[in-house]
Amino acid sequence: MREIPDLLVIGAGLSGLMAAYEAAEAGLRVKVIAKGLGSMHWSAGTVDVLGYAAGDKAVSMPLQELEGLQAVAPHHPYVVAGAEAVTEALSRFVALAKELGLPYEGAEEPGRNLWLPSPVGAARPVYLAPQGQRYGDLALAEPIVVVGFEGLRDFYPWVIAENLRKQGHRARGTVLPFALLSERRDANTVQLAQELDELKRVVTLARALKEVVEPGERVGLPALVGLDRHGRAMEVLQEELGTRVFEIPTLPPSVPGMRLYRALRSDLEGRGVEVEIGMEAVGYEAKEENGGFRRLLWVETATSARPLKHRARAFLLATGGLLGGGFDSNHEGRVWERVFDLPLAMPQNREDWFRPKFLDPAGHPVFQGGVSVDREFRPVSPEGKRLFANLWAAGNGLRDCDGIRERSREGIAIVTGIAAARSILVALRREKHVH
């Protein structure tokens, strides 16, 4: 019989893939399964670590904020991991991204957040940006020309420019013909990015840009400058124009997020990690063990007929929360974790899910609830008791964080993914030692 994997990761978002990377690099046999493709496909492709704390207080030095976090949110994943683990995981990501040919950078002053334009021209606090977005930093003085394309559905240069002006930045919008990007009448950002993988098109685009860019301006383009040959395309544009060029994220699908996903996945597959999408985990089998623990034997995924069993020695739940699809809810007010029905730290009464104001700075309780874990990132009961001998959890399904409001989604994914993988490594090594 074929040997079973050491680790089964459920979920192919950033936390699952980072955990898979960490474990595979340490020599574990890893398999990743996921219901569909994860949130990297619709987020901006940046690494946001902490943009807002205590309601709507803007954070400029996220790592310095961690200590304060401990007092107000003792179960926050950063607190569980510890400040040192946060810093280390982020450097680990930076090194990996460079290896993948998709370098990420922070602000010039180490530790400070960048403020980058969002798809509507709001300022977004970002800790690490892909090189292509780095020069959108609103702390830089050069005026911005936002260049869109006629008929492109997912990018509105004038809206962005106007909103930037309202915030006191010098910015203007303009458009170029769609035909520069594609012969097609209509195409989405991913298809257009693929068109810009061709050098000839990039050169043509550069020529057209020269006509509209004024001296001293930096150029903001929709994030579709190449999919697999992004680095080359950016270089050519900067060289031809002799000025800074940067990408602004578009409405989904997110090309910068997909670049990272594709690079990570192919790196994992190169390490022998199997990644299978379209596998929805719907159940599991566990046996009682001494000490009151239950040990997971396998996880079941839905197929066209009978469930398919995925055995492993260790299991990592990285399916996200309500937004990522890790939790489901019904009209009676129940919210549950979909695979193991883990207890959730979450208001049980439906009236308490939301605060009255939609954009309340304190956010909504239902988005802040989640799985409780101990220091080793193992799910625990409300009384703090470990639930399974070989289950770990990571990512934005953990309790007491609110990735979108805090602007911490990717930071949480990377930090907890790596921390959980390390804990798994220690546990598996210990077991081997015992046997």
Partner 1 sequence: MFTESWQSVGPSLDECIKCNICTAYCPVAAVTDRFPGPKYAGPQAQRFRENGQPHAPDRSVDYCSGCRVCNEVCPTGVKIAELNARARAQMVAEQGIPLRNRLLGRNELLGKLGSLAPRLANLGLHNHVSRVMAEKVVGIAREAPLPRFSEEGTFGSWMKRTAGERLRSDRKVVYFHGCATMYYEPFVGKATVVVLEHLGYEVIVPPQNCCGLPLLSNGEFGAARRYHEGNLHKLVPYAQQGYEIVGSSTSCTLTLKEEAPELLDMFDEESEELKLAVWDVFEWLRERYRQGELPTDFKPLPMVLPYHPPCQYRAHRVGRPAAELLALIPGLDVRVSTARCCGIAGTYGYKREKYQIGMDVGAELFEFVREQGREVRMTACDSETCRWQLEHGTGLPSRHPIEVLAAAYGLYDLERREPRGV
As measured in angstroms, the least distance from the Cβ of 93 to partner 1 is: 22
Longest dimension (CA), the chain: 74
186 Cβ contact list (under 8 Å, min separation 6):
151, 153
Cα–Cα distance measured from residue 423 to residue 81, given in angstroms and rounded to the nearest whole number: 11
As measured in angstroms, the least distance from the Cβ of 1 to partner 1 is: 6
As measured in angstroms, the least distance from the Cβ of 241 to partner 1 is: 28
Nearer to partner 1 by Cβ, of 70 and 266: the residue is 266
As measured in angstroms, the least distance from the Cβ of 91 to partner 1 is: 29
* CB-based contact 372:346 (threshold 8 Å): no
Nearer to partner 1 by Cβ, of 39 and 163: the residue is 39
- Cite the beta strand spans of 168-325 per DSSP E: 171-176, 218-222, 245-248, 274-277, 281-288, 294-301, 308-311, 314-317
Nearer to partner 1 by Cβ, of 208 and 282: the residue is 282
As measured in angstroms, the least distance from the Cβ of 37 to partner 1 is: 5
* CB-based contact 327:303 (threshold 8 Å): no
Nearer to partner 1 by Cβ, of 60 and 191: the residue is 191
Nearer to partner 1 by Cβ, of 40 and 144: the residue is 40
303 Cβ contact list (under 8 Å, min separation 6):
none
* CB-based contact 188:252 (threshold 8 Å): no
Nearer to partner 1 by Cβ, of 303 and 348: the residue is 303
Q: How many residues does the chain have?
A: 435
The C-alpha torsion from 325 through 79 and 18 to 107, rounded to 10°, is 110
Q: How do strand 391-393 and strand 344-345 relate by DSSP bridges?
A: unpaired
Cα–Cα distance measured from residue 43 to residue 249, given in angstroms and rounded to the nearest whole number: 9
- Interface with partner 1 by CB under 8 A: which residues? 1-2, 35-39, 41-42, 184-186, 188, 190-191, 194, 251-253, 258, 276-280, 282-285, 300-308, 324-325, 338, 341
As measured in angstroms, the least distance from the Cβ of 320 to partner 1 is: 9
Q: How do strand 308-311 and strand 104-105 relate by DSSP bridges?
A: unpaired
Nearer to partner 1 by Cβ, of 143 and 283: the residue is 283
As measured in angstroms, the least distance from the Cβ of 348 to partner 1 is: 20
Identify the residue whose tokens are 């953990």: 398
